[in-house]
Each structure stands twice: as structure tokens, then as C-alpha cells.
Amino acid sequence: MVKICCIGAGYVGGPTMAVIALKCPSIEVVVVDISVNRIAAWNSDQLPIYEPGLDDAVKQCRGKNLFFSTDIEKHVSEADIIFVSVNTPTKTRGLGAGKAADLTYWESAARMIADVSKSDKIVVEKSTVPVKTAEAIEKILTHNSKGINYQILSNPEFLAEGTAMQDLFKPDRVLIGGRETPEGRKAVQALKDVYAHWVPEDRILTTNLWSAELSKLAANAFLAQRISSINAISALCEATGANVSEVAYAVGKDSRIGPKFLNASVGFGGSCFQKDILNLVYISECNGLSVVANYWKQVIQINDYQKNRFVNRVVSSMFNTVSGKKIAVLGFAFKKDTGDTRETPAIDVCKGLLRDKATISIYDPQVTDDQIQRDLATNKFDWDHPVHLQPMSPTAVKQVSIAWDAYEAAKGAHGVCILTEWDEFKELDYRRIYDDMQKPAFVFDGRNVVDPEKLRAIGFIVYAIGKPLDSWLKDLPAVA
Ligand code: NAI
């Protein structure tokens, strides 16, 4: 029986290994993590992450060929294939702070593998890492080797949170990079054999190591770039009277462009896009490619601009001040169908409103109260000016309350901001919400989930990203 061990039981490690275990009954899969709480949650009825379809998959295999454990060394030493799926955040201090990937967790995992291994291993980079990381990992492993043969593969993960299970069951492609040596090719084949249990062969791409590592960064940069492109156009739509949904539809009808990932919004979030682009920027700079670096930097700058623009719209619409006003925030996760709040635009929007002394009441169907309070109390890292951190005042955090539903959040509010596209926000009884709000009642739709005309008919003043402006907003000074 082939034994797989995955180091890192997070958003990637957990679902990915659950699918491998489900599709490969002949393989034993153990997911290990240094976090005792995370492993306990994976072994309980309340999994540590929310992902549609994940509960079912875990329940079907847990205790059979899928295990979650904190006994990292034992399972690493017994495994044939070791996936490393630890977090690779942006460095916040030292060389490359604010851009480079922090490989501390990766390096400590690699050193531990070198320490405990007694037999040959295939080590798979599942985390997103800078190009050439495999070379560094190879050095760590082989310098301590004791005659053990290690093959490093790059197998970046392309799943998207919220649709992780369907992405894993039917991936557009699986990418495997390896050394172009007989041993390297053998290792690539061993990993191909795992995926071949359910992924058609023509969807399993093999490349050299560096292409695989760079492809992941490039794919995320392209995806984020599409969002920033349509968001840049949304600002122009508001200034000219065009409708961003109509523009996106017309643009996306061109088969060279395609219709996906063209929804204008308050901005992208999630743990990956910003971090991976910053990483790309850093690698470009390190290679002397400052023009390339500046090009990709703009994708993040437009994203920050979009979040600021949204806050400015809210404040300017409400007579240039939200001080003492109650704003209901519907949605805090970075997208629907996940409870993940890493880099969610809601953090920046809420902080912007709090700085203007608003009182905010937040409702999200999947994000816990603790998580929201933690996110709002944490200082934002200013990646362009790492030395000027802006602390969040403790009094500002007191201006936040958490509501158990959208109606409660909106009760007595002056304005409602929709910041995540949860389906339930489309179906709310907006008449009831309107009746319970202060007048004039505002809705600021950061995800284009409501029909502005229907809400206007109820009496709301509505701002929707990239849509023709309400006469109320048109008469105000331009927001840039
Ligand atoms: P995560 O933070 O949810 O999980 C990482 C886990 O690794 C944590 O539970 C942590 O305790 C554990 N860990 C860290 N160091 C360890 C060590 N030395 N030994 C054992 N466990 C250790 O991170 P997530 O979101 O799963 O991301 C992992 C990697 O996958 C990152 O590089 C990310 O960029 C990449 N990725 C993430 C995607 C996402 O949608 N979240 C999608 C595709 C790639």
C-alpha cells in the first residue's frame, strides 16, 4: 500500500487529501499538523473549515484510509510521498518584507523530513512557493541525507475556496513539475499514478520544476488582473453612465477573452492573490525586471483603490460623515461559501468606516464573532511602506457588534453595505429591512447582488459598483 503524508491540515491540505483518500482506497493518507486544535477539529463533527461537500468526503474515509494526526515525525518517516501544504505568507520583516514569501514553515518542515526519514521519499510542493524553492528544499534535504534519495516535485494547487471539492473532483488540470532525470521522471510518474485514479490523463500536465512553480504564481496573477481590470472599468462606468455588467457581458462574449471572472466588486481578497502577486513582484525585482514588477504591482494598487473608493462613496453619500451612524455590514468572508476572512476586502472597508467613527453591525453566515474581532483588531501590513504601520485604536474596535442575521444587523441602521455575495443576500426581504432603518436609507452593494431598481422602488438610495448612479449620488462631488 502506498502511504501518503501531508504536512499542513489547512484549506488546501485537508480537502486535497480527503479527495485523494476518497478516490484512491488503496492509498493510506495521513494529514499532520503542528496545530493540536486543528487536528482535533478534523477528527470531530465540526471540521475546522467550511467547504461545501467536504463533510461528506471526510466522513466517508476518515478512520478507513484517511487519518488526521499530530504525530508528524512518525507519519513522515513511514510515508512514500510527502505533500507539504504549509502556509507561505508574505514576509513582514527583514529582507523582502512586504513582498517576498516567508518560507519559515516550509524550511522547518523540510528540516524535519531530513531528520526523521529512513527511506527514499518523494517530497511534493503543494504550497505556493517562489520559483526555485525546490532547489533550496533539495539542498536542505540532501545536505542532511544519510544516503536517502529525495525527489522534489512541484504540484501547485489550483482549487478555489468555496468550490474546492468540485475543483478537486474535476480539475481543469493537474500540474506536476519534476527534475528531467530518470529518477525525476519516475517520481513524476508515481504522482501521476495517484491522480490517474480519477483525473483523465490529458488533464495531467508535466513540466520542469521551475515552470510548475512559476505557473501557479502566473495563474493567480492573471486571475487577479482580470478582477482589477473590470474594477478599473467599473470606476469609469460610474463616471460615464455605462453599466459594468453590460460592459463585462459584451467584453466576455469575445471568445478570446471569455465570460468568467469579470464581476466587478469591492475588490478581491483571500489568502493567495495579493500574496502571490507580491511574490511575483519581488522575484521580478530580484531579477532586475523593474518594469515587469511595476506592471503586476498595479493589479494590487487597483484593488486597494477599489476598496478606498467604496468607503469614500459610503461616506460622501451620507452627507460626508458616518460619525455616530450605524452601518450594517452584510458579509465578512472574502467570498461566498467559505468562512475564510484572510485579506477579505471587508476588513479594509470596515476599518475605513471605523476611522470615520461609524458604528458597525456585522453579519456573516459562516464567520465567527471571534474571527471578526481578531481581524479588525489586527494591524494591516502596509506592503508599500513597511515602516508606517497604522494601528487600529481599541476604541474603534468597540464600535463593532456582531449580529445573528441580516435583519438584526440592519435594524436602526442608516446604511447597509453588502460585502460578500452570499446567495441569501439576494433573497432578503428588503422592504422589511427598509422599514426598520433610519431614513434616508442607503444600500451600498459591493458585490452587485441586489437589483438596484427594485430597491429604489422601495425607497432606498442605492449605490452598486459600476452601475449608473442614483440622482442623489450624481449631484455629489466625484469620488476617485
Ligand atoms: P493554512 O494556513 O490554512 O494551512 C497551513 C497549515 O500548515 C496550518 O494548519 C499550519 O498549522 C500548518 N503548518 C505550518 N507549519 C507546519 C509544520 N512545520 N508542520 C506541520 N504543520 C505545519 O494554509 P492554506 O490556505 O491551506 O494554504 C497552504 C498553501 O497552499 C499556501 O502556500 C497557499 O498559498 C497555497 N494555496 C492555497 C489556496 C487556498 O485557496 N487557500 C489555493 C491554492 C494554494
Predicted ipTM? 0.98
| DSSP three-state, residue 273 | helix
- The answer to whether residue 213 sits within a structural domain is no
pLDDT by position in tens, the chain (length 480): 899 999 999 999 999 999 999 999 999 999 999 999 999 999 999 999 999 999 999 999 999 999 999 999 999 999 999 999 999 999 988 999 989 999 999 999 999 999 999 999 999 999 999 998 999 999 999 887 688 999 999 999 999 999 999 999 999 999 999 999 999 999 999 999 999 999 999 999 999 999 999 999 999 999 999 999 999 999 999 999 999 999 999 999 999 999 999 999 999 999 999 999 999 999 999 999 999 999 999 999 999 999 999 999 999 999 999 999 999 999 999 999 999 999 999 999 999 999 999 999 999 999 999 999 999 988 776 666 554 445 556 666 679 999 999 999 999 999 999 999 999 999 999 999 999 999 999 999 999 999 999 999 999 999 999 999 888 777 776 666
| CA 221/CA 297 separation, integer angstroms | 10
Cross-strand partners of 90: 101
Statement to judge: residues 409 and 330 lie in one domain: yes
Angle separating helix axes 345-355 and 290-317, nearest 10 degrees: 50
Statement to judge: residues 106 and 247 lie in one domain: no
DSSP secondary structure letters along 25-92:
TTEEEEEE-S-HHHHHHHTSSS-SS--TTHHHHHHHHBTTTEEEES-HHHHHHH-SEEEE-----B--
The pLDDT of residue 387: 47
CA 270 to ligand 1 centroid distance, Å: 13
Statement to judge: residues 258 and 176 lie in one domain: no
- The answer to whether residue 220 sits within a structural domain is no
Angle separating helix axes 13-23 and 54-61, nearest 10 degrees: 50
The residue out of 199, 229, 257 marking a domain boundary is: 199
Q: Which of 32, 33, 115 to mutate to test the pocket of ligand 1 (most atoms within 8 A of CB)?
A: 33
- Report the pocket of ligand 1 as residue ranges, CB < 6 Å: 7-13, 32-35, 38, 72, 85-88, 105, 108-109, 127-128, 157, 159, 161, 271-272
| Cα 91 from chain centre | 17
| DSSP three-state, residue 380 | strand
Take residue 90 and report the three cell numbers written for it. Answer: 508574505
The residue out of 165, 199, 233 marking a domain boundary is: 199
CA 142 to ligand 1 centroid distance, Å: 24
Integer angstrom CA distances of residue 10 from 106, 117, 179: 14, 23, 27
Statement to judge: residues 136 and 28 lie in one domain: yes
Domains of the chain: total: 2
What contacts 18, CB < 8 A, 6 or more positions away?
Answer: 54, 57, 58, 61, 66
Statement to judge: residues 303 and 408 lie in one domain: yes
The pLDDT of residue 384: 61
DSSP secondary structure letters along 247-262:
HHHHHHTSTTT-STT-
| CA 234/CA 221 separation, integer angstroms | 20
CA 289 to ligand 1 centroid distance, Å: 29
Residue 175: which domain range? 2-199
- DSSP, res 427: S
Integer angstrom CA distances of residue 23 from 18, 176, 197: 9, 19, 6
The pLDDT of residue 391: 53
- The answer to whether residue 313 sits within a structural domain is yes
Q: Which residues are catalytic?
A: 272
The residue out of 139, 171, 199 marking a domain boundary is: 199
Instruction: Please report, in range form, the residues annotated as the binding site for NAD(+).
Output: 8-13, 33, 38, 86-90, 127-128, 161, 272-275, 342
| CA 53/CA 368 separation, integer angstroms | 20
We report the CATH number of the domain holding residue 284 as 3.40.50.720
- The answer to whether residue 206 sits within a structural domain is no
The beta strands (E) that lie in 270-429 are given as 326-330, 359-363, 400-402, 415-418
The pLDDT of residue 382: 63
- The answer to whether residue 250 sits within a structural domain is yes
Nearest CA to ligand 1 atom 20: 33
